[in-house]
A and B are shown apart, each in its own frame.
Chain A
Amino acid sequence: MVVRFNWSAFKQSRWYEHAVRLGLGGLTTALTGAVAQRYDPATAGLFLAFPAIFCASATLIEKHERMRKEAKCLQGARRGQQAAALDAAGAGWGSIALGVFGACVWWLAPAFAAGSLCAAAISWLVVAVLVWVLRRRLRRVGSS
């Protein structure tokens, strides 16, 4: 399956949904800074992988999927839960790539400050795509 953009999803979302995510993302980033100042970087670093906007995103996915089904006069509640679960599963697999991002920063930041972030971001993208491909292959093998 080819990865593509679905621009109609943009029309489904409302301005306040983006505002909520902007607020939650901003709050988590500010909180991480506060934790680093109050406690130590080891504790603050944990919050770099905090599911800051997951609650808002999953709720939106569930709502949009339910509304799409209900617009066709179908029961959408279960489908909404499944769509949110699929998103959560993707995030679970994606956490491997997030761990690789952290490992890159851990290893490279003392020597190459700015370069470490670029290397970590590229590593994250490569590992995330590889994990997604692996997951699809595993599912295909499992279903055959």
Chain B
Amino acid sequence: MEYTIRFLIGGVVVSAFALLGDLLRPKSFAGLFGAAPSVALATLSLTLLKEGGQYAALEGRSMIIGSAALAAYSFLVCQLLIRFRATALTATSVAVIAWFAVAFGLRYLLLDS
């Protein structure tokens, strides 16, 4: 039941931000919504209700590392699209590997050392 609620709330919030990104112009501004805290708002609301502030704070701290990984991911997607003329599907799929590498690399480097 909990996962169904998470799925529904997350899906609706993420879709709302994505729709906003579709409708806004110029495109460079709309791109900011590609990094909107949609999953974070849905997840942290439920975490705060269930686990409390201390637990949410730990997730917030890791989110900073996740953001650094997202910056690396976006940079790589840009490079693959412009320099290597990859399709959007290929570029965004390949770059996910970089997101995992940077996110988990920094997580173990900064939080486990």
Contacts and interface: CB of A to CB of B under 8 A. Distances in A.
A22 B10 CA distance: 8
A18 B20 CA distance: 12
Interface residues of A, number: 92
Interface in B35-63: 35-48, 51-63
Interface residues of B, number: 84
A51 B99 contact: yes
A76 to B, nearest CB: 13
B30 A87 contact: yes
* Chief secondary structure at chain B's binding surface: helix
Given A51-B73, A94-B33, A29 B27 contact: no
A103 interface: yes
A114 B70 contact: no
Q: Max chain B CB contacts within 10 Å: which of A46, A47, A107?
A: A46
Contact of A53 (B14, B43, B53, B75): B14
Given A97-B35, A99-B68, A41 B55 contact: yes
B32 to A, nearest CB: 4
B24 interface: yes
Contacts of A124: 36-37
A29 B22 contact: no
B26 to A, nearest CB: 6
Nearest to B12: A22
Contact of A49 (B42, B63, B88): B63
